Amino acid sequence: MPPKKKPYSKLSKTAKYYRDNPTARKKKAKTDTEINSRSEQKRKRRESGRARTEAKSKGKNIQGKDYDHKQGRFISSSANRGQAEKSRLKGSKRSSRKSNSKRK
């Protein structure tokens, strides 16, 4: 049995968008399928699964943690999101938060 859908009021902005736009949802599903069928993605999933199995067999507490492929260790799942997204940080050349005082 599939899990129950969350009520609309409890959804994030992105989830609301995809629930309201079925064509966009289908396009995203197709893109996600293409990305997840790449050999490098499969390799990462295998590596992550093996690391989790090994850590559990050694008795390590990895609950709430994800395997970081760059660092080669388990880190908190919230810290493992958006590692490559450095352009949004303050001081980045591409950051939209940067003051435009140089344009005067």
Tens-digit pLDDT profile for residues 34-83: 999 999 999 999 999 999 999 999 999 999 898 988 888 998 888 877 65
b (16+ CB within 10 A) / e for 35-46:
eeeeeeeeeeee
pLDDT at 104: 47
Average pLDDT, the chain: 85
pLDDT at 79: 81
**Distance, CA of 37 to CA of 83 (rounded, Å):** 22
**Distance, CA of 16 to CA of 13 (rounded, Å):** 5
pLDDT at 50: 95
